[in-house]
C-alpha cells in the first residue's frame, strides 16, 4: 500500500552544466590574477629604481640594505652556534624587530674612513663586486661612531625596501607595518640626533690627537656618515 509520500533519490552534481570544471576555472582565475599583480609590481619596482637613480639615492640605499643582510646573516649564524635545534630567521621580510637589532649594531660600530670608501668603490667598479668592512679593521676610524645621517639613512633605505616588497609577504602582518611607526625605530633615530653634538666633539678631539701625534687624520674621514 502506498503511503502517499514521494521518495526523491538524492543526486550530486560534480560539474557545471556547461561542462566546465568549476574548480579548474577558479584556479586558472587565481593564477591569472597572481600574474597580473606580479607584472604590475614589476613595473612599479622598475619605476622606483629609476627614481632612486635620478635622486642619487640608489647606491646609498643598496649599500644600507646589503649591510643589513650581511649583519643579519652573521648575527643568526652566531645565535645558532652550539644550538642545532634553533631555527635561523631569514633577513626578509624586513620587520621593525629585525631593523632594531641592526640599528643597535650600526649605532655602536666604528666609522668607515673616507679613504677606505674610495678604495672600496674603486675595487667594486674594477671587479664588479662588493667589498666588506669589519668593525675594528684598519679601514675604520678607531674610537669613532656613525652619525645621525647614517642611522636615518639606514632606516629610510630599509623602509623603502620593505614598502616596495610588502606585497610579497601579505601573510606576515609585521612586514606590513612602517618602520618609523614602531617605538624601537623612533627611539634609535631620536637617540642618534641627540648624540650628534657629542659625536662631533669626539671627532674633533680625535682629529686634534692625530695632528699632535703626527698622524694625518682628515676631518672628512671623521665626519663621513657611515
In a domain, 126, yes or no: yes
Q: Are 153 and 174 in contact (CB under 8 A)?
A: no
Q: How much is the pLDDT for 182? A: 98
Identify whether 32 is part of a domain. Answer: no
| 26 domain-assigned | no
Q: Is residue 125 part of a domain?
A: yes
Q: What is the pLDDT of residue 129?
A: 46
Given this model, what pLDDT does residue 205 score?
83
**Structural domain includes residue 175:** yes
**144 occurs within a structural domain:** yes
Residue listed under C-alpha cell 623602509: 159
Cell of 96: 621593525
pLDDT for residue 91: 98
Q: Please give the DSSP secondary-structure letter assigned to residue 158.
A: H
Domains in the chain, number: 1
The pLDDT of residue 166: 97
Residue-number span of the structural domain to which 84 is assigned: 57-223
What share of the chain has pLDDT > 70, as a percent?
Answer: 72
Cell of 212: 699632535
- What does the pLDDT read at residue 18? 58
Residue 207 belongs to a domain: yes
Q: What is the pLDDT of residue 66?
A: 97
Answer whether 62's CB lies under 8 Å from 56's CB: no
226 residues of the chain, pLDDT tens digit each: 555 554 555 554 445 555 568 889 999 999 999 999 999 999 899 998 888 888 889 999 999 999 999 999 999 999 999 898 999 999 999 999 999 999 999 999 888 765 544 454 444 445 554 444 444 444 777 767 889 999 999 999 999 999 999 999 999 999 999 999 999 999 999 999 999 998 888 878 877 776 665 555 544 444 445 5
Residue 46 lies in a domain: no
pLDDT, residue 142, reads 72
Q: Beta strand pairing status for 111-112 and 140-141?
A: antiparallel
pLDDT at residue 79, rounded to an integer: 94
**What does each C-alpha distance from 176 to 83, 95, 96, 170, 183 come to in angstroms?**
31, 8, 10, 7, 16
Nearest to 152 by CA among 200, 100, 189: 189
Amino acid at each position: 500500500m502506498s503511503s502517499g509520500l514521494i521518495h526523491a533519490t538524492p543526486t550530486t552534481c560534480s560539474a557545471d552544466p556547461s561542462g566546465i570544471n568549476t574548480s579548474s576555472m577558479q584556479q586558472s582565475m587565481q593564477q591569472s590574477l597572481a600574474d597580473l599583480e606580479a607584472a604590475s609590481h614589476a613595473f612599479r619596482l622598475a619605476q622606483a629604481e629609476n627614481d632612486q637613480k635620478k635622486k642619487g639615492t640608489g647606491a646609498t640605499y643598496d649599500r644600507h640594505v646589503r649591510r643589513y643582510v650581511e649583519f643579519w646573516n652573521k648575527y643568526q649564524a652566531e645565535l645558532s652556534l652550539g644550538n642545532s635545534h634553533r631555527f635561523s630567521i631569514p633577513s626578509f621580510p624586513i620587520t621593525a624587530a629585525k631593523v632594531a637589532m641592526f640599528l643597535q649594531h650600526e649605532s655602536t660600530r666604528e666609522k668607515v674612513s673616507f679613504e677606505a670608501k674610495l678604495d672600496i668603490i674603486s675595487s667594486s667598479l674594477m671587479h664588479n663586486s662588493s667589498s666588506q668592512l669589519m668593525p675594528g679593521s684598519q679601514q675604520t676610524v678607531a674610537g669613532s661612531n656613525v652619525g645621525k645621517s647614517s642611522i636615518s639613512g639606514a632606516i629610510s633605505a630599509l623602509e623603502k625596501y620593505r614598502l616596495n616588497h610588502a606585497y610579497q609577504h601579505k601573510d606576515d602582518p609585521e612586514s606590513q607595518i612602517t618602520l618609523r611607526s614602531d617605538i624601537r625605530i623612533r627611539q634609535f633615530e631620536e637617540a642618534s640626533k641627540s648624540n650628534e653634538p657629542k659625536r662631533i666633539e669626539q671627532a674633533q678631539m680625535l682629529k686634534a690627537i692625530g695632528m699632535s701625534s703626527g698622524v694625518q687624520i682628515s676631518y672628512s674621514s671623521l665626519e663621513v656618515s657611515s
